[in-house]
């Protein structure tokens, strides 16, 4: 897989075609699995990690249906390439920043990836556009079954799948949904929503998952604990919460359109204008303004722009993507200039 070529493309989950895609960016299922014959990653020697990597690679390459799945050795990749894979949501920050042998298997359409030697030996990840958890779970379960025919996972009848983190023991399942909630932020209801989610054992993280900042009003909502709960129960927990968040966000948007449409339209138009004309702009500023523009498109305040374009810009203006697209390493100032030019190219001509 040539990462330079991948940089210019757009993964399936960014196309904005799934259910409730005006508010839900993507649905993701992750499964944590460990090979029974090795200690957990933090107790592994480098030789153990290399053996796990080899076993995982052999298993992936032996699955006939996965001819378009490519296995990447992450250890020798440059910092830029690893950051690129994080921005692409194909690997986690933890895998990127880890040491020693590690890798990732990536589906050609970026609908799934399998990380090797992250916190657990394997992290299976399936991602879909919009609110599509059932489909994502079905695909994740199938991937899990195919790998388990080739590998022996650590499992106890009484506990379920054994994982490095005690909160993942049992199913090893993390169900998460990425939402765009700008109206709840504008109406200052977002903190109240967060407090309610915490009481329901639901975690809230930033755009790039655990440890990332809340940027551009994008939030990942996921279950916190799996022990003692079935896959169906965990799916139902998130499936119960997310429609409520969607309803709150829609009500907040309707409130803004009813009570302060002119102010909202002005705010959206200013954001759009800055993105179209800025000579240099930071990543955080870009996320902030793209968030406003994305809401404006969905509310009909901007009619000449489509959501897939905005979704693409959210990722393609990230630091590693900009440098891959430009074909050279750029310092912060040069990235800010390059980002502004990229935005102008994709937005200015739409007026």
pLDDT in tens, 164-186: 998 889 999 999 999 999 999 99
Dihedral angle sign, alpha carbons of residues 37, 43, 44, 45 = negative
Give residue-wise pLDDT tens across range 291-309. 999 999 999 999 999 999 9
Domains and CATH numbers, the chain: 3-253 (3.30.590.10), 260-350 (no CATH)
CB 143 within 8 A of CB 66: no
CA distances from 351 to 69, 75, 269, 311, 320 (A): 40, 45, 12, 19, 28
Answer whether 203's CB lies under 8 Å from 315's CB: no
Which residues lie closer than 8 Å to 232 by C-beta, 6 or more apart?
Answer: none
Percent of the chain clearing pLDDT 70 (strictly above): 96
pLDDT band, residue 202 (cuts 50/70/90): confident
Q: Which residues of 12-48 are buried (b: 16+ CB within 10 A; e: fewer)?
A: bbbebebebbbbbbbbbbbbbbbbeebebbeebeeeb
Answer whether residue 256 shows pLDDT above 60: yes
Q: What is the pLDDT of residues 51-93, one digit of tens each?
A: 999 999 999 999 999 999 999 999 999 999 999 999 999 999 9
Tokens of 67: 């001819």
Distance in angstroms (rounded) separating the CA atoms of residues 299 and 321: 29
Residue given tokens 């994502």 in the structure block: 136
% pLDDT > 90, the chain: 79
96: exposed, middle or buried (C-beta count within 10 Å: 0-12, 13-18, 19+)? buried
Nearest to 317 by CA among 290, 292, 297: 290
Cα dihedral across residues 32, 38, 42, 48: positive or negative = negative
Q: What is the pLDDT of residues 93-107, one digit of tens each?
A: 999 999 999 999 999
């Amino acid at each position: 897989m040539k990462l330079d070529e991948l940089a210019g493309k757009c993964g399936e989950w960014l196309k904005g075609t799934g259910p409730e895609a005006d508010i839900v960016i993507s649905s993701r299922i992750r499964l944590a699995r460990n090979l029974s014959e090795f200690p957990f990653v933090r107790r592994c020697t480098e030789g153990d990690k290399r053996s796990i990597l080899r076993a995982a690679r052999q298993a992936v390459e032996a699955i006939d249906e996965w001819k378009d799945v490519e296995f990447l050795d992450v250890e020798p990749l440059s910092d830029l390439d690893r950051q690129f894979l994080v921005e692409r949501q194909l690997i986690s920050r933890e895998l990127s920043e880890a040491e020693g042998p590690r890798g990732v298997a990536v589906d050609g359409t970026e609908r799934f990836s399998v990380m090797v030697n992250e916190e657990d030996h394997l992290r299976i990840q399936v991602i879909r556009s919009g609110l599509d958890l059932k489909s994502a779970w079905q695909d994740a379960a199938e991937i899990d079954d195919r790998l388990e025919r080739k590998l022996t996972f650590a499992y106890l009848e009484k506990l379920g799948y054994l994982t490095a983190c005690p909160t993942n023991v049992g199913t090893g399942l993390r169900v998460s949904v990425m939402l765009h909630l700008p109206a709840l932020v504008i109406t200052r209801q977002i903190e109240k929503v967060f407090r309610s989610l915490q009481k329901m054992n639901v975690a809230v993280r930033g755009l790039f998952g655990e440890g990332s900042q809340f940027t551009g009003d994008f939030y990942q909502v996921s279950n916190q604990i799996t022990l003692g709960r079935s896959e169906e129960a965990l799916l139902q927990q998130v499936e119960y919460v997310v429609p409520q968040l969607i309803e709150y966000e829609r009500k907040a948007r309707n409130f803004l359109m009813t009570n302060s449409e002119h102010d909202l339209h002005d705010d959206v138009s200013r954001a759009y204008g800055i993105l179209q004309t800025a000579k240099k702009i930071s990543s955080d500023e870009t996320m902030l303004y793209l968030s406003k523009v994305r809401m404006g498109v969905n509310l009909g305040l901007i009619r000449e722009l489509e959501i897939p374009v905005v979704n693409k810009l959210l990722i393609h203006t990230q630091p590693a993507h900009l440098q891959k697209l430009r074909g050279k390493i750029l310092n912060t100032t040069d990235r800010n200039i390059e980002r502004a030019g990229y935005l102008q190219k994709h937005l200015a001509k739409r007026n």
